[in-house]
Amino acid sequence: MARSALINVMIGAATKAGRSLARDFGEVQNLQVSVKGPGDYVSQADRKAEDIIYTELSRARPGYSFLMEERGAVHGDDDQHRWIVDPLDGTTNFLHGIPVFGVSIALERQGQIVAGVIYNPAMDEMFVAERGGGAFMNDRRMRVAARRQLSDCVVATGIPHLGLGNHGRALIDLRNVMADSSGIRRFGAAAIDLAYVAAGRFDAFWEDSLKPWDMAAGILMIREAGGFLSTRDGGQDMLETGSVVAGNEIIHGALVKTLNKPLQRS
């Protein structure tokens, strides 16, 4: 793929942060971990990766604003551009030595996501998308899976844990999707899940209670790979509501329908 200057900047920042994470991942048991909330941890590795990304992007595009998991909102002189960054999506996986985690960087221009990068350093997989330019994994073009029946599909999701999400609603969703699909997967890193939908590895994905940095890059990636996304209610305000459902056109519609059914009885 021909990379724009913007994408090169984003890949450079994600790669540098990813190398730092990979070094810390090799010594995960030695990391100092502080509790950020029930069942939600933040490590030195997380903060270090965010510092790297902030420094690299600020140097390359001075004045752009940021929305980052740890720093929160950082307002720059340029109010038309905003970086949306998750320096370590899948922190719990990372801290348990599970190699499913990633760096996620998106650029929002005048309210629209125009570029996105998701990098899993443990597997050295770089997922990239630019608005109007397609989506790629390690320079190979990505397309969403072409299956047409939800019963043939593997569907990914997130499952609420201690202190987060609507557990009752999640159990109903799981029961309904279990009954209609070929299988459900829970990887524990929404950015990677979305990238896998774009790559056709997962047929579909749904989750609620996400943050903008969890999904901004992945939303663009799926669109550029030919996929469709909405909230569970069919809206387009995913970043505001934290709800997202994704797949190809047919499977996306089928999954939205399944998620809005009442609980199926055995």
Residue positions forming the annotated binding site: 69, 86, 88-89, 214
Annotated binding site for Mg(2+): 69, 86, 88-89, 214
Determine the residue type at 87.
P
114 Cβ partners below 8 Å, 6+ apart? 107, 108, 130, 131, 220
User: Rounded distance, CA 111 to CA 79, Å?
Assistant: 10
Question: CB burial class (10 A; 0-12, 13-18, 19+) of residue 3?
Answer: middle
